A and B are shown apart, each in its own frame.
Chain A
């Protein structure tokens, strides 16, 4: 069974919501659509207070190269453009739309028919993906059109589709693969055409045998698309880990996957690409898992972007008593919310509720140099050393120890028997080293 070679952990899977079919959540009365839902420069609003918007209408334009367009997810009136605490924990500018009915832009095809043929040229496909504001739905929210444009002098020879969903508890991608596999495969062939590659591999961990079976059956009808099952190991969903696992190529330090001729997209992104290119539908909704051990009804919801998290929690049976923490994202990489009305953004893959007794961290003890963090680090780094160097503000040494290669998967923090804040220190170090590198580049 294939998997990546260095590091990794296997936390309890807890995929409670894996049998819950995707439910369409009611459209909320008010949506808060953040202007910065993607990696890169925030979008610039093109509507103003009082404007009426239709579902799918462009409301903010990504003007920089690494940026993405944002569309209204409901129809109604723009109430305000204001700062709202979003999933990042900080106030960010949002466009607030009061819902009135649900009137869609007329050029969006809402019929459920599968549209397989795509006669567009690669340039037209990329333009459409950019127009419709598609970003990577795996969590990093990198604008997809940038990934589909192969830089000059480089050549892509393989497209890797990430259906790994290695984070425990999350099942959004799993359900998508079961329910929207046909559309997804058309999306993948469109992405292959845009990139000009002949081959695509869909990587799925073998804790989802139903998805592997379903997609393998359908994929046999498409030339060049194959499915590979992978051994369950976290963080297999990381780009570099997945490339290593599937095609045994190693992305050099500080470089992008295109360096080894691979491009990685999430399964959700492939579906979004299909909808954008074939149906003209911008990225205005996504599947979000709501789960937790005490929750009444662990579910997967199809949610309009900008819906407050509280609406999702209500729909899954309310917040259970003694809930200690609400986390946005998976249990390993997710981040606790400090505002339950924070809006669902393009990168929100799950909302998890943890009971109070599971919340506190282990008490912090001295480092016993057991080297468990080194053995689980999927990037081959030495987390204990990086944490010490960052703590002592020796940032230049951090840079030499390749702190910027850390993907913040949290495996070191998970395994540390002394409960040391390894990742917290590394994160501070990465931040400072990033500043150092930027100031050096600008001088």
Chain B
């Protein structure tokens, strides 16, 4: 009995020892040296793997930053400036301040504004609908309402409003990763500067048809009248193909353009309510 135990202990022990020696040399030969800073950087990133930085995920961004030895050209939309500053401190680099961005939906073709004329019965993704027809409301530029953007969002920052048939972006949750922008086959969703207190003014329409034609399919379409262009003192608004565009770099958020828009296509978000009614009455009385 003892003998058997002894033999097995010796044989297994020596086998183990040989394997250990072989493994030691193999490990030496095929050693992968990984920069420990990659792990440090990765820890400071949000870990959402959203792809908003343009790379495959958080690990890929960490690797790229460590390899480049600089933060120039890198940004993490969900982490924002804070995350970049943390990384800069840890690596002893200088972080670039980047303006926080947010997604805006440049369409207001709700069921009321652009009444459905037909019913779409096909498979419900915007990609398919876009390849088949101009949309239930008839606008070939407008939101198709099948929710490809909502599906693409990995931060729960979007939902479909059942009543209007349009997606809604939740300001607090949107990290500007740009997934929805890619998902939309009609390029309705665009990234804009978030602005102070997420205040922003934009033209909520991308229809480049002539005014009359655009109005036929939607009440609140931009008709390209140019009133806002005249009203803007900062030359922030340009008009091209019957469509106004507000440059968020130049816009000073003075709120002069939304009231002059005859169709109400210019939207202002998160501003305090206007006090204009009194002024209007005063003007009428005078």
Contacts and interface: CB of A to CB of B under 8 A. Distances in A.
A431 interface: yes
Nearest to A324: B121
B123 A364 contact: yes
A412 B103 CA distance: 38
Given A361-B122, A364-B123, A424-B122, A338 B117 contact: yes
A85 B128 CA distance: 19
Contacts of B121: 324-325, 336, 359-361
Interface string B75-95: 000000000000000000000
A89 B117 CA distance: 12
A402 B253 CA distance: 52
Contacts, number: 54
A82 B213 CA distance: 9
B138 interface: yes
B118 interface: yes
B233 to A, nearest CB: 35
Contacts of A421: 122-123, 128
B132 A335 contact: yes
B131 interface: yes
Interface of B is mostly: loop
Given A91-B140, A359-B121, A428 B213 contact: no
A385 to B, nearest CB: 18
B14 to A, nearest CB: 51
A217 interface: no
Question: Looking at chain A's contact residues, is the secondary structure mostly helix, strand, loop, or mixed?
Answer: mixed
B263 interface: no
Interface in B91-129: 117-118, 121-123, 125, 127-128
B216 to A, nearest CB: 10
Contacts of A83: 209-210, 213
Contacts of A324: 121
Contact of A424 (B117, B123, B213): B123
Contact of B134 (A89, A361, A427): A89
Contacts of B132: 89, 335-336
A90 interface: yes
Interface string B26-42: 00000000000000000
B123 A338 contact: no
Contacts of B133: 88-90, 336, 338
Nearest to A429: B127
Interface residues of A, number: 23
Size category, B interface = 10 to 19
Interface string B200-237: 00000000011001000000000000000000000000
B209 A91 contact: yes
Interface string A254-282: 00000000000000000000000000000
A428 B134 contact: no
Contacts of B140: 90-91
In this complex, which of A83, A89, A324, A360 has the most chain B Cβ atoms within 10 angstroms of its Cβ?
Answer: A89
A361 B138 contact: no
A431 B138 contact: no
B134 A338 contact: yes
Interface string A75-99: 0000000110100111100000000
Contacts of A91: 134, 140, 209, 213
B147 to A, nearest CB: 15
A249 B181 CA distance: 47
A427 B213 contact: no
Contacts of B123: 361, 364, 421, 424
A428 B127 contact: yes
B54 to A, nearest CB: 16
B178 to A, nearest CB: 15
Nearest to A425: B128
A360 B133 CA distance: 17
A428 B118 contact: no
Contacts of A336: 118, 121, 132-133
Contacts of B138: 85, 338-339
Contacts of A428: 127-128, 131
Interface in A350-376: 359-361, 364
Contact of A427 (B117, B118, B131): B131
A415 B72 CA distance: 54
A351 to B, nearest CB: 16
Contacts of B210: 83
Contacts of A90: 133-134, 140
A356 B269 CA distance: 43
A88 B133 CA distance: 7
A218 B210 CA distance: 55
Interface in A413-436: 421, 424-425, 427-428, 431
Contacts of A360: 121
Contacts of B213: 82-83, 91
Interface string B147-166: 00000000000000000000
A410 to B, nearest CB: 12
Task: Please indicate which of the listed interface residues A90, A338, A428 has the most CB atoms of chain B within 10 Å of its own CB.
Answer: A338
A339 B118 CA distance: 8
Contacts of B131: 424, 427-428, 431
Given A91-B134, A424-B122, A428-B128, 5 more contacts: A91-B213, A359-B121, A421-B122, A421-B128, A427-B128
7 contacts: A325-B121, A336-B121, A338-B117, A338-B118, A359-B121, A424-B131, A428-B131
